[in-house]
Amino acid sequence: GENVEQHPSTLSVQEGDSAVIKCTYSDSASNYFPWYKQELGKGPQLIIDIRSNVGEKKDQRIAVTLNKTAKHFSLHITETQPEDSAVYFCAATPGSARQLTFGSGTQLTVLP
Amino acid sequence: DTGVSQDPRHKITKRGQNVTFRCDPISEHNRLYWYRQTLGQGPEFLTYFQNEAQLEKSRLLSDRFSAERPKGSFSTLEIQRTEQGDSAMYLCASSSLRDGYTFGSGTRLTVV
């Protein structure tokens, strides 16, 4: 089955700096890669996703890049704000309607 | 539609008791998923329904766990003879071919 590894497990940045979180996956059949933000006591919230037919996707301050050959995908957050502080999870699946395999999460802290 | 609803938000039970959780998905979503999340980890897949049919079950879903989606709408997850190791957040999600996953806020189970 799929295995997703996520790094780093914790990340602290100064407000206004950029944050990068990286994931690798094992199953070459995976073709859908969502990123979730989870705040304390809440369920994961989808923030951006990418499919394997594109290499990069951007939505305002958030971008995701995908390298299918290396089986890597990354989340980039620019101009970080304190409200970006949360746990971020990457995930992979062979189909957007199939079960997701999650990484172990990154605790992002944005220092004011 | 206000998203995926889960009830209760919190449940404390004594070891050996049975518990049941409910999930109401987004009404037009025909796919419904249950995940379990322990502290510091990403969600782990438990089971998946398409309409009323349970199509996949994880090996994590022991014989003490049963899930139903009787009319293809809401779903229930029952845990019989609870054990301390069952303490976790139980997350429900729904999706359609058009939409990605939407997670509920989860039910936090504590077995004492």
Minimal Cβ distance to B33: which of A99, A102, A103: A99
Portion of chain A with pLDDT greater than 70, in percent: 98
Give the three-class secondary structure for B85: helix
Quick one: pLDDT at residue A96? 64
Stretch B32-44: mean pLDDT: 94
B21 and B108 Cβ atoms separated by less than 8 Å: no
pLDDT (tens digit per residue) in B52-63: 999 988 888 889
Cβ-Cβ contacts under 8 Å, A8 against chain B: none
* A35-48 exposure pattern, b = at least 16 Cβ within 10 A, e = fewer: bbbbeeeebbebbb
Minimal Cβ distance to A43: which of B42, B56, B105: B105
Report chain A's mean pLDDT, rounded to a whole number: 94
Minimal Cβ distance to A89: which of B42, B58, B104: B42
The answer to whether the Cβ–Cβ distance between A45 and B103 falls below 8 Å is yes
With 60 as the cut, is the pLDDT of residue B1 above it?
no
CA Rg value for chain B = 13
Stretch A9-28: mean pLDDT: 97
Quick one: pLDDT at residue B6? 97
- Report the alpha-carbon distance of residue B86 to residue A92 in Å, rounded: 25
Quick one: pLDDT at residue B75? 97
The answer to whether the Cβ–Cβ distance between A99 and B101 falls below 8 Å is no
The answer to whether the Cβ–Cβ distance between B102 and A105 falls below 8 Å is no
Stretch A11-38: mean pLDDT: 96
Closest CA to A15 of A80, A62, A85: A80
Stretch A66-85: mean pLDDT: 96
Measure the CA dihedral B74/A98/A92/B45, to 10°: 50
Chain A with chain B: Cβ pairs closer than 8 A: 55
Closest CA to A62 of A42, A40, A39, A36: A36
- Lowest-pLDDT range of B2-11, B13-22, B98-107: B98-107
Structure tokens at A48: 């951006």
